[in-house]
Amino acid sequence: MKMTNALTAVLLVGMLLGSSFLATENVRAWDASVSVTPSSVIEGDSVTFEVTVTNTGSEAMKITSIYLGFDWMTDANQFYSSREVPQVLPVGESYTFTFEVEIPEGIDTENMHQVGVEIEAAGPGIIDEWGFSYTNEYYADLSVEPASSPGFSAISAIGVIGIVSLIAVMRKRKTI
Domain boundaries along the sequence of the chain: 29-165
What pLDDT shows up at residue 2? 55
CATH of domain 29-165: 2.60.40.10
Q: No. of H helices and E strands in the chain? A: 2, 9
Q: What is the pLDDT of residue 77?
A: 76
Long-range contacts of 48-51 (CB under 8 A, 24+ apart): 48/98, 48/99, 48/100, 48/101, 49/80, 49/98, 49/99, 49/101, 49/115, 50/96, 50/97, 50/98, 50/99, 51/82, 51/96, 51/97, 51/98, 51/99, 51/117
Backbone angles phi, psi at 130, to 5 degrees: -125, 140
Task: Compute φ and ψ for 81, nearest 5 degrees.
Answer: -115, 140
Q: What integer pLDDT is reported at residue 29 of this predicted model?
A: 46
Q: What is the pLDDT of residue 43?
A: 95
Looking at residue 126, its pLDDT comes to: 84
The predicted pLDDT at position 172 comes to 58
Decide: residue 51, CB within 10 A, 0-12 exposed, 13-18 middle, 19+ buried. buried
- Residue 61 · residue 125 · CB < 8 Å: no
CB atoms within 10 A of CB 69: 20
pLDDT tens, per residue, the chain with 176 residues:
555 554 444 443 344 334 333 333 333 446 889 999 999 999 999 999 999 999 999 999 999 999 999 999 988 778 999 999 999 999 999 999 999 999 999 999 999 999 999 999 999 988 888 988 899 999 999 999 999 855 544 554 555 565 655 555 555 555 55
Q: pLDDT at position 12, please?
A: 39
